[in-house]
Amino acid sequence: MDRKGNKVLELPGYEIEWSSLYGNNVTTSDVKCWEPVTCFSNGYAVVKFSGFRYNGPNDIGYSSTVTKEDLNLSDYMLIDLQGNLTPFDKDFFYSTGVTYWSQWDNYMKRGFLLSKVSSRYGTLDRNGKVSIPYLYGEMQYDPFLNGVAKVQKQAGEPGSVIDLKGNVIIPEGDWQWIGSFVDGYALATQTGKSDEGYYTIDTYLLTVGDPSAPTEPVTPPADTPSSWAVEQVNAAIAAGIVPDSLQSKYTQPATRAEFCALAVELYETIKGSEIAERTTFTDTSDVNVQKMGALGVVTGVGGGRFDPNGTLTREQAATMLARLAEAVGKPLAAQALTFADNSSIASWAFDAVGQMQASGVMGGVGNNTFAPQVSYSREQSILTMLRLYESVK
């Protein structure tokens, strides 16, 4: 559910065939098999596979003929705001099912998940892949707050300091003892013998980089727009046409589903009501895609598929923008194309690119070229959506 109380995501269900003790098989659709494990943070949450359960009549004696492996599912899955599921790396699992979740929100903001397998600590990245192997018996409380963490292979050892990529920043043995890094600093001690023969313990303050400027792993890349895009991105956010899930990683290529999310925000903001109709696709349950499908803004890639995670191209963006303007009731004027690379533009996108050029919603990339197959970034998508919004509102 979003902040307006609208249902935006429903976990996917599956069509399952059940075998019966009585010899007759039954097929049921939309079988749910997920339990929530964490809340959403930075666009991600974790769900747990709870098994397929038959809920039809005479529900005794039926068993699924499909396993989770057949559907590329695992015991724990990472889910994003578009409903896409990613299996966790197999190394995350331990035979007893031991898992460790701690300070989920704080960790996901730093781009990792702390996990514990067989009493050893490691980390997973946002795609559920092991980023630091399970090597450490001890890891400081609230690790990587400043991009580094104190770790020990065994309790009681001096320990070392590593970064989020697992690189050793301060080797084991350089110090007798190192405390946890907080606000960029940690206390450390060395022991030795004075000239008079007495043992000494010297205490030092260690720092890794500038504590007021966290190291690269701490702040996810591209969490601020490019300098040329900042003003218009902020204006689009203020206008309420940028969903929370797209207010980061502005320079990365947008996906087809992400562009649909922007389109839905624009349409519903202008119309003042939610889109009630839905068109379904076989490869996604993303409600934004379904809404845009119902309006005819998107039509899929064939075979009932949409390819929600496919990288958005410039000619795809132009086509969706032109159809969105028509869906709002403010179609854009047509114009003959004058780009030098007209021959590279797909026939289905030709008219839409002309509308973009005529309206100024979307231009070229320099040297009088449009570059139709080049990817389209999140910030570019937001800027053109803002231009369309100002044109049709």
Residue 356: per-residue pLDDT: 94
- pLDDT over threshold 90, residue 76: no
For the chain, give the mean pLDDT. Answer: 75
Residue 346: per-residue pLDDT: 93
Lowest-confidence segment of 171-185, 186-200, 230-244 by average pLDDT: 186-200
Of 164, 170, 206, 171, nearest in space to 185 by CA:
206
Residue 301: per-residue pLDDT: 92
Q: For the whole model, what pTM was predicted?
A: 0.47
Tell me, rounded to whole angstroms, the distance of Cα 63 from its chain centroid. 34
Of 321, 313, 318, 265, nearest in space to 291 by CA:
265
- pLDDT over threshold 90, residue 276: yes
- pLDDT over threshold 80, residue 271: yes
Of 77, 99, 90, nearest in space to 12 by CA:
77
Residue 180 three-state SS: coil
Kindly state the helix (H) or strand (E) to which residue 317 belongs, with its residue range: helix 314-328
Q: Any idea how long the chain is?
A: 393
CA angle in degrees (0–180, nearest 5) for 225-215-77: 75
The identity of residue 317, as a single letter, is A
For residues 146 and 207, the answer to whether their CB atoms sit within 8 Å is no
Lowest-confidence segment of 20-24, 128-132, 159-163 by average pLDDT: 20-24
CA angle in degrees (0–180, nearest 5) for 95-41-114: 35
pLDDT average, residue stretch 30-55: 65
For residues 129 and 91, the answer to whether their CB atoms sit within 8 Å is no
Tell me, rounded to whole angstroms, the distance of Cα 369 from its chain centroid. 32
Residues 6 or more apart whose CB falls under 8 angstroms from that of 245 comprise 43, 80, 81, 258, 261
Residue 176: per-residue pLDDT: 65
Strand partners, 80: 44
Of 135, 134, 115, 113, nearest in space to 125 by CA:
113
Residue 228: per-residue pLDDT: 84
Tokens standing for 100?
A: 């460790």
